[in-house]
Amino acid sequence: MPPHFHAKYGDKEVLVSIKELEVLEGEMQSKQLKMVLGWAAFHQTELMENWELAVKIKTCFLLIHCDKESECRTP
């Protein structure tokens, strides 16, 4: 599997490639997917750094958590 991250919204989940910012698996409503892809584009470097770290030490870090569309924060 190429470098990717998981995004969840409600009961929907997608796996998104970090380099191409394309959905690899799963489904999500268009509005929420656009929000995820926009966030990912802005944080693409951080996502790739996290991926590389995860490969080295076998763990990942949560970069952002959203309870609602308007309530996103870093942990």
User: pLDDT tens digits, residue range 24-66?
Assistant: 999 999 999 999 999 999 999 989 988 888 888 876 666 555 6
- Can you give the pTM of this predicted structure? 0.77
Please report, for residues 9, 34, 67, 75, the alpha-carbon distance to residue 45 in angstroms, rounded to integers and kept in the order given.
23, 18, 24, 18
Place of tokens 């489904």: 27
> At 18, is the pLDDT very low, low, confident or very high (cuts 50, 70, 90)?
very high
Alpha helix ranges (H) inside the chain: 30-42, 44-57
> At 75, is the pLDDT very low, low, confident or very high (cuts 50, 70, 90)?
very low
